[in-house]
Amino acid sequence: MKLIIHVFLLLFLFFTVSVSGQKTHDDSLSIIIKKANQEIYNNPDNVIKTGKKLLKNEKDTKKLIRIYLLLSTAGFAKRDFDESLQYIYKARELAKKTNDPKVQTSVLMTAAVQFQQMDLLSKSIETLDEVDKYLAELPEDLSLKHFETARSFALRGMIYKSQANPEIALQEFLIAIKNFEKVADQKTTFYNQSIIYYNIGNCYLTIGEPNQAQKAFQKSIDIARLIKANSLEAFALKGMSEIPKQKHQNQAALDLLLQAEKLSKNIGDLTLNEVIHKEMADNYLAMGKQNLYQIYSKKYLETRLKREQNELSSINHALDIHNLESQKKSKDMITHYHFLVAAVVLSGVLILGFFFYSVLKIRRRNQRDQEEIKKLLSS
């Protein structure tokens, strides 16, 4: 269950980064990115091809950031965490050059999501704290502020959920929904609301309220169908299948899972396939259908192995980048220290020089005064 929740948040938070800038740039690039976003959940490979073509001729910093975030989103949809992480860091480095709190907020939120997905929770929280600083700089009537505030609450809710605090997580998700409802263009929040309702359903299941969970999952499915997001609908169907499974109504659970499997075929989402195959194997085992259990158990293990290999590669890459950042900070601190030492030494030299100059000046003046006194006395 923890794995499923992690996946849904990554899809939710990555998609929102790309659309958040569409209202400010009504150009051909925005149109292309908008079309690409519509394919992320169903054909991420095509999105990656589109993004790489856009990179070749683009020079504008803010547009490059949007393209890198698009590529990162598509990579994450495929569970190619390593490549996705590299694009995030490229976007983050460019964002530092803009001095734009809106750009900084969106890029940092995306980075925070990826860290959370990789179970680097302290790094995710650290990045969220940075996000809060930039959010404070945005005006209250700006839709983007509500949009990113909602994402921040949702991500913190995911972290609480992963730490076995479903009640607190549920509160965070409900606040996230309220903030999304404040966004002027509701169409840009449908993906997010679908996924948050899915996670709300999971929270209700965990605290033993299946009726509320059923309503939340159905809400998630309805929104997913409205925007034709197959992976979101598939995950929501998988979540809903937990309810009949808990009641030992295994065939009813399988009916929902078969719908989810059909929707997931052309997406290439390793985690989605993994959770569906595992649930199907469990239900077939409970029904005593050993052949089907063996088939789906094998599919589950193969997909899980591939996903874990991808995650391990990304974590190693993330640690390498973290070490480089730490080394850079260390060098900056050493440089700053040397600068301070030099400044202190220079200040000391100047003060001593001024002191000796003052002493010398006073001595010369005293000597002149003494000579004048002698002359007066001798006369």
Q: pLDDT digits over 141-162, tens only?
A: 888 899 999 999 999 998 999 8
Confidence of residue 4 (pLDDT cuts 50, 70, 90): very low
pLDDT at 56: 86
CA atoms within 13 A on the CB side of 348: 6
Which range (31-40, 42-51, 84-93, 175-184) has the least confidence? 31-40
- What separation in angstroms does the CA of 305 have from each of 81, 118, 260, 274? 14, 16, 21, 10
The burial class, CB within 10 Å (0-12 / 13-18 / 19+), for 82 is middle
Q: Which residue is it, tokens 């600083």?
A: 133
Span 90-113, pLDDT tens digits: 888 898 888 888 888 988 988 888
Which range (37-41, 117-121, 287-291) has the least confidence? 37-41
pLDDT at 330: 64
**Cα distance between residue 360 and residue 354, in whole Å:** 10
**Cα distance between residue 70 and residue 140, in whole Å:** 27
**Cα distance between residue 297 and residue 285, in whole Å:** 10
pLDDT at 298: 93
Which range (124-128, 197-201, 320-324) has the least confidence? 320-324
Cα dihedral: 339, 340, 341, 347 (round 10): 110
Q: State if pTM tops 0.85.
A: no
Confidence of residue 43 (pLDDT cuts 50, 70, 90): confident
Nearest to 194 by CA among 345, 49, 72, 11: 11
- Chain centroid offset of residue 128 CA: 9
Mean pLDDT of 74-91: 80
In single-letter form, the type of residue at position 336 comes to H
Token pair for 331: 């060098």
- Is the pLDDT reported for residue 338 higher than 80? no
Nearest to 13 by CA among 117, 108, 109: 109
